[in-house]
Homo-oligomer: A and B are copies of this chain.
């Protein structure tokens, strides 16, 4: 990222992930090496940053959010490992490096993904630094499990694969994106909101609204970057969506209207943050970064 604040979040979650991930010298070494490769490589750490920035907006000590930030990043990393597999998106490059199954092998990539998901739940159940109230933690686990289940992220990926090469309406595309990317973005914000002992119901509503708008804007921007970006900058193969006849916002609406829609959603997200005043400065920076990134 580019701003010191956001870089700080990134370093913070990387240090926490490094602590939670088993060392590569611990058996089974090959599996642990693959897990670390999939998680600790270059990456924007958008979801942890959303979690921490929401925490800053609510005045939560950030160590309480290391667990949730790790959990959402682990879920994100596992989903990339599985989505990149030959039977799914069949991608060779991710974040500028060989995908996990290219670097290791398919069996190891499948198992590493499985183990990353299990670790995410272990952290939420086990991290002593997290919010103390066990009932709140159960609520957090339920939220994450729902977000990454068959009616959340995994369901979105399933529908996305099924839609390849077929004509699709904007409402269907939104339905897919809300699940495939939106659910985990939303969860990243709401895990932080749940970690606050003082947040009001109204504050949570505002954050929830912001999360929904920015989640969709983020995915539209991803679609736009697939058209406008090049492989070197993206760190993954550009133009893949078009090549595979994937439904995208630029494909359905045209490039310029898609860019305008992303900006409009971004604007709405910023408006939802107004009541938080200066405390939401990191969240605003992050929303701006997500709109103006080139990868």
A residues lining the B interface (CB < 8 Å): 22, 26-28, 30-32, 35, 78, 82, 85, 87-88, 105-108, 110-115, 117-119, 121-122, 124-126, 133-135, 137-139, 141-142, 144-146, 148-152, 154-155, 157-159, 161-162
Contact of A88 among B35, B107, B121, B144 (CB under 8 A): B107
A sample of 30 cross-chain residue pairs with beta-carbon separation below 8 angstroms, ordered by A number, consists of A22-B150, A28-B159, A30-B158, A31-B154, A31-B158, A32-B150, A35-B150, A82-B111, A107-B158, A107-B161, A111-B154, A111-B158, A112-B150, A114-B114, A114-B117, A115-B150, A118-B145, A118-B146, A121-B121, A121-B141, A121-B144, A121-B145, A122-B142, A122-B145, A122-B146, A125-B139, A125-B145, A134-B134, A134-B137, A134-B138
Closest B residue to A82 using CB positions: B110
A257 CB, nearest partner CB in chain B, Å: 27
Chain B residues near A121 (CB, 8 Å)? 121, 141, 144-145
Contact of A125 among B87, B122, B141, B162 (CB under 8 A): B141
Q: Which 7 A-B pairs have the closest CB atoms?
A: A87-B106, A122-B145, A134-B134, A115-B150, A125-B141, A118-B149, A125-B142
**Cα distance, A171 to B36, chains bound together (Å):** 28
Chain B residues near A146 (CB, 8 Å)? 118, 122
Closest B residue to A156 using CB positions: B28
> With A111-B158, A133-B134, A137-B138 given, can you name 20 additional A-B contacts, CB distance below 8 Å?
A22-B151, A27-B155, A27-B159, A28-B155, A28-B159, A28-B162, A35-B150, A82-B111, A87-B105, A111-B154, A112-B150, A117-B118, A118-B145, A118-B149, A118-B154, A119-B150, A134-B135, A134-B137, A134-B138, A141-B141
> Known contacts A122-B146, A138-B138, A145-B122: does B114 contact A87 (CB below 8 Å)?
no
The listed residue with most B CB atoms (<10 A of its CB), out of A27, A135, A149, A157, is A149
> Known contacts A134-B134, A138-B137, A145-B121: does B110 contact A150 (CB below 8 Å)?
no
A24 CB, nearest partner CB in chain B, Å: 11
Chain B residues near A88 (CB, 8 Å)? 107, 110
Chain B residues near A87 (CB, 8 Å)? 105-107, 110
**Cα distance, A125 to B142, chains bound together (Å):** 5
> Known contacts A87-B105, A105-B87: does B122 contact A157 (CB below 8 Å)?
no
Chain B residues near A30 (CB, 8 Å)? 158, 162
Contact of A155 among B85, B107, B115 (CB under 8 A): B115
**Cα distance, A276 to B137, chains bound together (Å):** 35
